[in-house]
């Protein structure tokens, strides 16, 4: 068994639509160590959510993971049967989503929804499960947990619901938690609280986190390691300090510029010019080339590959790798 | 360097904009892709054409009696045979279709006028006006359709001549069916009312009626047309049911519905199927084609819907 | 809850009053001489007697007084006499309404019993062969006029194949009792039941399917899957419990139609139900029957709306009725 909890190799998840094949995830590699937090950054449409659904093996039709390997604790999830995956989901790998308002089933009590995972994966009786659910609600900082357990989701605020989602996800003490934009839909103050809670629980339970976000600020606060995705490919891969000190891909640089910062007296935030290309009409060369301020001729015709430019720091850009040499 | 990037981005934007076309082009493009819907459109077009061209297609008069040739089975000279008065049945089906389709279309017209008026005014003003108008709609809505329709038809029918029965049927169906449409339009207006272009209209000092009927209603046209199309199918069904019961359009004026009534005589039912199967089949085909078309339109207008 | 129901019932009163007024005015506009109808068409009575009867019946009073008198009678359960049946309207209704109910309750059970599982399967296996079959089925069912379909069935199964009786509810002249009677009625019920069930299935399957599709794409279904629940639990527990909300409201609307009957089907199959009573009433100008039944149907529909809202509150925890 390797030192990595999750080892994703060359995963390709494509959507076979009527209009053509959308290569939502196209040869993605990354690794997560036990107890580590990996940030996956990118704009919407970059394939980061599909990456997480690929790990869960929950990609919906017409999508399909057609290549690669997703090794979790040394075993390839892509080789598992549906039943085997069901014993892993919610138990060893669990997930929280962007929309706490709609991610909980409106017709079941909050406690019921937490108990369900416990009874399924841990063979608990209803009573044991209910006690554990209350305990979990307390752990995620919900006051009056004994009462909230019998509440319906609509009776709770967005932040509270996300806490419930976290309680549900962590109920079986999974070794990996996938968090897909967990704070995007929340108010800023609530955001900070939820992130702090996730950090605390990670330390307490030793859970590794795969954190998907478009917000580099969140990454800085949470992640140990970061990958940046663009159009289904990893364009930069680095430890978090290295990435912030030495962002190398023009796209990463662009993202950095769009973070508001206190010690910067610029009045306007830079944003990246142009739009993400249409997934069915990707540029021939580097996918970022049409928006790239540093593009050279070669970028129009050739696709760059991920190359290591410093220890643990990889980037896929002709300009960036030339520069270093 | 940077300006070049902007140019590139602009060029790309233009590329994308070429695909952004008007609503109706989009609807038509989506509609064309739906084979069943296109089939429905073609089928109903053929039916309409046949019915309009009836005088050219058939050499017989609609009401021409020929007692010597009464109750003939289908033959070369009478494709669908003749009825008890020797009238050519194919001819009567063509002319009957005229009435059936006309009633279907015009009753939806009545519903549309009422629905747009009620729904538009109600949604725009809200408050007590909304309350009163919607209560009226609700009262009409709270009757089951057919019992009230036959009651009204029986009451009004005595004062209406045979030739004008079809207009009476149009009004009854139109009035009884408008509340659904009014509700739909009201709902649409309520959401549109809050949008920016309406604030702009207010800022420009447009009159209320102009706001409602020139700016709000046109924005609900897509939904109205889908609803109206499916409504025509429903209205044709309603007319045929009323006429079948003898409480709609009555002989000697033929409609597909009252032609099926022949089958209530057990002798005709058993021995002269050409008198009731073809008109019934026509209703079925007409309604199905329009339904196919309506479903296709709905999907074309709202591609996210489930069908 | 009880308070809510009471309040709703109270709110219904003005609506019912307005409906009754409209109906009353409509009936006043009906042609014919009510005195003559009261006496029988052929009786010859001198005008003086007629005037006296008119006064006795209160028909010489202004219309609003007449309306109040009529309303009073209606409230005490006196719906007048049926001209055609020569019996009180209430008796006529209670005689025929159970025939309608019998037919419709069977249809109700069949229609919901079939459409719910079928709708779910169609939604889960969208665009599969099963789904496509039911889509075509729905389309045909929705587009087929029920009278034509009924006649086709009679033509095929009763006239030609002679498997089922042509019409009626019992074999004419038969004196069956007990089980034999039940079997005889059942035989007569088959064809009208098929017509009504297929007509209802056509729209119900579509409705259940679309409700289910709407639910399946919700975020909480993804959550349920991510918890490791089996597809069965995801669909039949998490998804169906939500799709049930629109379905239950539909059942609320359906309950009144158990009693309002199906005029066309009852006419085609000569089923002695309430729809046929109304149809005959309309044809024969039996106004007391027509008035009472329309009033009754309107009240039933209003009750249906209330039932719908109650059902809503029962299955959707987000709806509070207070």
* DSSP string computed for A162-201: HHHHHHHHHTT--SEEEEESTTTTS-HHHHHHHHHHHHHH
Q: How confident is the model at residue B5 (pLDDT cuts 50, 70, 90)?
A: very low
Q: In Å, how far is A295's CA from the nearest CA of chain B?
A: 9
Cα torsion angle, C187, C275, B173, C108, sign: negative
Higher pLDDT: C271 or C322? It is C271
**Cα–Cα distance measured from residue C222 to residue C244, given in angstroms and rounded to the nearest whole number:** 19
- Are the Cβ atoms of B2 and A293 closer than 8 angstroms? yes
Lowest mean per-residue pLDDT among A57-61, A145-149, B190-194: B190-194
> pLDDT digit string (tens) for B183-239?
888 888 888 877 777 777 777 778 888 887 777 877 788 888 888 999 999 999 999
Average pLDDT over residues C242-270: 86
Mutate to test the interface with B, among A17, A45, A250, A273 (most CBs of B within 10 A): A273
- Are the Cβ atoms of C301 and B144 closer than 8 angstroms? yes
Domain covering C99-315 in this structure, CATH number: 1.10.3720.10
Instruction: Enumerate the residues of chain A whose CB falls inside 8 A of the CB of residue B6.
Output: 273
Instruction: Enumerate the residues of chain A whose CB falls inside 8 A of the CB of residue B33.
Output: none
CA torsion angle for A76, A79, A81, A82 (degrees, to 10)? 70
How many CA atoms within 13 Å lie on the side-chain side of B107?
32
**Domain B2-47+99-306 adopts which CATH fold?**
MetI-like fold (1.10.3720)
Pick the residue from chain B with its C-alpha nearest to C262: B146
pLDDT surpasses 80 at A180: yes
**Strand order across the beta sheet in which A63-72 lies:** A20-33, A4-17, A63-72, A75-76
Please give the interface size between A and C, counted as residue pairs whose CB atoms are below 8 Å apart: 71
DSSP string, B191-237: HHHTSHHHHHHHHTT--HHHIIIIIIHHHTHHHHHHHHHHHHHHHHH
C318 and chain A in contact, CB less than 8 A: yes
**Cα–Cα distance measured from residue C224 to residue A90, given in angstroms and rounded to the nearest whole number:** 9
User: What ranges do the domains of chain B cover?
Assistant: 2-47+99-306
User: What ranges do the domains of chain A cover?
Assistant: 4-92+172-315, 104-171
- Separation in Å, CA C105 to CA B65, B145, C256: 47, 20, 11
Q: In Å, how far is C31's CA from the nearest CA of chain B?
A: 7
- Are the Cβ atoms of A290 and B16 closer than 8 angstroms? no
Average pLDDT over residues A37-66: 89
**Residues near B23 by beta carbon (within 8 Å), at least 6 away in sequence:** B222
Higher pLDDT: A195 or C46? It is A195
- List the subunits that have 3+ CB pairs under 8 angstroms with A: B, C
B8 and chain A in contact, CB less than 8 A: yes
- Separation in Å, CA A308 to CA A248, A314, B289, C26, C162: 11, 4, 64, 89, 85
pLDDT of residue A2: 59
pLDDT of residue C36: 62
| Mean pLDDT, chain B, whole residue set | 83
- Separation in Å, CA B47 to CA B104, C163, C293: 14, 36, 39
pLDDT of residue A30: 92
> pLDDT digit string (tens) for B72-129?
888 877 778 888 887 888 889 999 999 999 999 999 999 999 998 998 888 888 888 8
Pick the residue from chain C with its C-alpha nearest to A171: C227
- Are the Cβ atoms of B8 and A291 closer than 8 angstroms? yes
pLDDT of residue C282: 86
Assigned token pair, C135: 């889509």
pLDDT surpasses 70 at C202: yes
Cis peptide before B156 (omega within 30 of 0): no
**Strand order across the beta sheet in which A208-213 lies:** A93-96, A176-180, A208-213, A37-41, A225-230, A233-239, A313-315, A307-310
3 state DSSP class of A230: strand
Listed residue (A34, A23, A22) closest to A175, CA to CA: A34
pLDDT of residue B3: 44
Pair C281, C84: CB distance under 8 Å: yes
Note the residue count of chain B: 307
Assigned token pair, B287: 């309604």
pLDDT surpasses 60 at B13: no
Average pLDDT over residues B255-282: 90
Average pLDDT over residues C61-71: 82
pLDDT of residue A301: 85
Pick the residue from chain B with its C-alpha nearest to C217: B306
**Cα–Cα distance measured from residue A281 to residue C255, given in angstroms and rounded to the nearest whole number:** 55
User: What ranges do the domains of chain C cover?
Assistant: 11-75, 99-315
Neighbours of C146 (CB within 10 A): 21
- Are the Cβ atoms of C315 and A90 closer than 8 angstroms? no
Lowest mean per-residue pLDDT among A5-9, A88-92, A289-293: A289-293
- Separation in Å, CA C123 to CA B302, C137, C212: 19, 15, 6
How many CA atoms within 13 Å lie on the side-chain side of A164?
32
Q: How confident is the model at residue A152 (pLDDT cuts 50, 70, 90)?
A: very high
**Cα–Cα distance measured from residue C213 to residue C204, given in angstroms and rounded to the nearest whole number:** 14
pLDDT of residue C268: 92
Lowest mean per-residue pLDDT among A39-43, A46-50, B164-168, B191-195: B191-195
Neighbours of A53 (CB within 10 A): 23
Pick the residue from chain C with its C-alpha nearest to B155: C30
Pick the residue from chain A with its C-alpha nearest to B14: A274
Instruction: Enumerate the residues of chain B whose CB falls inside 8 A of the CB of residue C260.
Output: 144, 147
pLDDT of residue B113: 93
Provide the terminal-to-terminal Cα distance of chain A, rounded to the nearest Å: 36
Query: Closest to C279 (Cβ–Cβ): which among B245, B276, B281?
Result: B245
Pick the residue from chain B with its C-alpha nearest to C211: B306
pLDDT of residue C37: 61
**Cα–Cα distance measured from residue B43 to residue C322, given in angstroms and rounded to the nearest whole number:** 52
Q: How confident is the model at residue A268 (pLDDT cuts 50, 70, 90)?
A: low
pLDDT of residue C284: 82
Query: Closest to B306 (Cβ–Cβ): which among C152, C213, C257?
Result: C213
pLDDT of residue A61: 81
B9 and chain A in contact, CB less than 8 A: yes
**Domain A4-92+172-315 adopts which CATH fold?**
Rossmann fold (3.40.50)
Q: In Å, how far is A89's CA from the nearest CA of chain C?
A: 4
Higher pLDDT: C32 or B139? It is B139
Average pLDDT over residues C82-105: 89
How many CA atoms within 13 Å lie on the side-chain side of C215?
29
Does ipTM surpass 0.90 in this model?
Answer: no
pLDDT of residue A325: 41
Cis peptide before B272 (omega within 30 of 0): no
Pick the residue from chain B with its C-alpha nearest to C281: B151
Query: Closest to A97 (Cβ–Cβ): which among C223, C315, C317?
Result: C223
Share of residues in chain C with pLDDT > 90 (%): 42
Q: How confident is the model at residue C85 (pLDDT cuts 50, 70, 90)?
A: confident
Query: Closest to C15 (Cβ–Cβ): which among B139, B260, B306?
Result: B139
3 state DSSP class of B146: helix
- List the subunits that have 3+ CB pairs under 8 angstroms with C: A, B
Instruction: Enumerate the residues of chain B whose CB falls inside 8 A of the CB of residue A291.
Output: 5, 8-9
Q: In Å, how far is A121's CA from the nearest CA of chain C?
A: 8
pLDDT of residue B8: 46
C220 and chain B in contact, CB less than 8 A: no
Average pLDDT over residues B156-183: 89
- Are the Cβ atoms of B12 and A274 closer than 8 angstroms? yes
Range 230-249 of C in CB contact (< 8 A) with A: 230-231, 238, 241-242, 245
Q: In Å, how far is C220's CA from the nearest CA of chain A?
A: 4
- Are the Cβ atoms of C227 and A116 closer than 8 angstroms? yes
pLDDT of residue B18: 43
């Amino acid at each position: 068994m390797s030192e990595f909890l999750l080892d994703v190799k060359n995963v390709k998840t494509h959507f076979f639509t009527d209009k053509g094949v959308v290569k939502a995830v196209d040869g993605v590699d990354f690794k997560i160590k036990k107890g580590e937090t990996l940030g996956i950054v990118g704009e919407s449409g970059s394939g980061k959510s599909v990456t997480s659904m690929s790990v869960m093996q929950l990609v919906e039709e017409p999508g399909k993971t057609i290549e690669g390997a997703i090794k979790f604790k040394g075993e390839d999830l892509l080789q598992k049967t549906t039943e085997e995956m069901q014993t892993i989901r919610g138990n060893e790998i669990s997930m929280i989503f962007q929309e706490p308002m709609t991610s909980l089933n409106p017709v079941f009590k909050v406690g019921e929804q937490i108990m369900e995972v416990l009874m399924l994966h841990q063979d608990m009786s209803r009573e044991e499960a209910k006690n554990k659910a209350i305990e979990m609600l307390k752990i995620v900082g919900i006051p009056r947990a004994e009462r909230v357990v019998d509440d319906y989701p609509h009776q709770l605020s967005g932040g509270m619901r996300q806490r419930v989602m976290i309680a549900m996800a962590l109920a079986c003490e999974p070794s990996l938690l996938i968090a897909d934009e967990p704070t995007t839909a929340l108010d800023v103050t609530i955001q900070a609280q939820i992130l702090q809670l996730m950090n605390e629980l990670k330390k307490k339970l030793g859970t590794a986190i795969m954190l998907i976000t478009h917000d580099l600020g969140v990454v800085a606060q949470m992640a140990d390691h970061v990958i940046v995705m663009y159009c289904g490919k990893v364009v930069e891969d680095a430890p978090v300090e290295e990435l912030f000190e030495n962002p190398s891909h023009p796209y990463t640089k662009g993202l950095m510029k769009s973070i508001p910062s206190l010690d910067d007296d610029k009045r306007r935030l830079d944003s990246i010019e142009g739009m993400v290309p249409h997934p069915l009409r990707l540029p021939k060369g580097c996918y970022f080339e049409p928006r790239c301020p540093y593009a050279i001729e070669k970028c129009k015709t050739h696709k760059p590959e991920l190359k290591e430019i410093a220890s643990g720091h990889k980037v896929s850009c002709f300009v960036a790798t030339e520069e270093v040499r | 360097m940077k300006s070049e990037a902007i140019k590139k981005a602009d060029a790309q934007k233009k590329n994308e904009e070429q695909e952004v076309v008007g609503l109706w082009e989009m609807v038509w493009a989506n509609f064309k892709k739906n084979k069943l819907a296109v089939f429905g459109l073609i089928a109903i077009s053929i039916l309409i054409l046949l019915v309009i061209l009836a005088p050219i297609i058939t050499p017989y008069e609609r009401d021409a009696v020929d007692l010597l040739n009464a109750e003939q089975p289908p033959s070369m000279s009478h494709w669908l045979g003749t009825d008890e008065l020797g009238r050519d049945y194919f001819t009567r089906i063509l002319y009957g279709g005229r009435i059936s389709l006309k009633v279907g279309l015009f009753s939806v017209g009545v519903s549309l006028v009422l629905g747009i008026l009620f729904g538009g005014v109600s949604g725009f003003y809200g408050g007590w006006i909304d309350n009163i108008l919607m209560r009226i709609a609700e009262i009409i809505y709270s009757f089951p359709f057919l019992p009230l329709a036959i009651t009204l038809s029986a009451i009004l029918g005595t004062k209406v001549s045979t030739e004008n029965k079809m207009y009476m049927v149009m009004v009854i169906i139109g009035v009884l069916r408008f509340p659904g449409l009014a509700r739909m339009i009201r709902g649409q207006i309520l959401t549109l009312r809050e949008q920016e272009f309406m604030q702009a209209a207010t800022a420009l000092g447009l009159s209320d009626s102009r706001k409602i009927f020139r700016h709000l209603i046109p924005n609900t046209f897509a939904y109205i047309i889908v609803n109206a199309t499916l409504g025509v199918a429903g209205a044709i069904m309603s007319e045929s049911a009323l006429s079948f019961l003898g409480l709609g359009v009555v002989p000697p004026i033929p409609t597909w519905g009252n032609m099926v009534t022949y089958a209530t005589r057990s002798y005709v039912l058993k021995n002269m199927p050409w008198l009731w199967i073809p008109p019934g089949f026509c209703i079925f085909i007409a309604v199905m084609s329009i339904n196919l078309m309506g479903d296709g339109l709905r999907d074309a207008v709202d591609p996210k819907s489930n069908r | 809850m009880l308070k809510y129901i009471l309040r709703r019932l109270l709110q219904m009163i003005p609506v019912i009053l307005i409906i009754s007024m409209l109906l009353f005015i409509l009936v006043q506009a009906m042609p014919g001489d009510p005195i003559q109808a009261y006496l029988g068409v052929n009786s010859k009575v001198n005008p003086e007697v007629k005037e006296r009867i008119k006064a006795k019946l209160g028909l010489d009073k202004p219309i609003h007084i007449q309306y109040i008198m009529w309303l009073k009678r209606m409230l005490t359960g006196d719906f007048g006499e049926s001209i055609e049946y020569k019996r009180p309207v209430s008796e006529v209704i209670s005689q025929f309404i159970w025939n309608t109910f019998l037919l419709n309750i069977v249809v109700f059970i069949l229609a919901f019993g079939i459409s719910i599982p079928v709708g779910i399967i169609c939604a889960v296996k969208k665009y599969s062969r099963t789904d496509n079959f039911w889509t075509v089925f729905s389309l045909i069912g929705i587009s087929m006029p029920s009278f034509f379909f009924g006649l086709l069935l009679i033509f095929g199964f009763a006239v030609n194949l002679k498997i089922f009786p042509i019409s009626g509810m019992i074999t004419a002249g038969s004196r069956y009792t007990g089980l034999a009677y039940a079997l005889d009625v059942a035989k007569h019920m088959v064809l009208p039941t098929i017509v009504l069930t297929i007509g209802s299935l056509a729209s119900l399957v579509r409705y259940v399917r679309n409700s289910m599709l709407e639910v399946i794409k919700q975020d909480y279904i993804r959550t349920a899957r991510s918890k490791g629940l089996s597809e069965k639990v995801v669909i039949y527990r998490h998804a169906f419990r939500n799709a049930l909300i629109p379905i239950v409201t539909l059942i609320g609307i359906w309950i009144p139609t158990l009693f309002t009957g199906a005029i066309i089907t009852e006419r085609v199959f000569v089923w002695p139900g309430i729809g046929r009573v109304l149809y005959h009433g309309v044809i024969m100008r039996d106004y007391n029957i027509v008035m009472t039944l329309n009033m009754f149907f309107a009240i039933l529909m209003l009750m249906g709306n209330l039932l719908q809202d109650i059902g809503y509150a029962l299955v959707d925890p987000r709806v509070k009725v207070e």
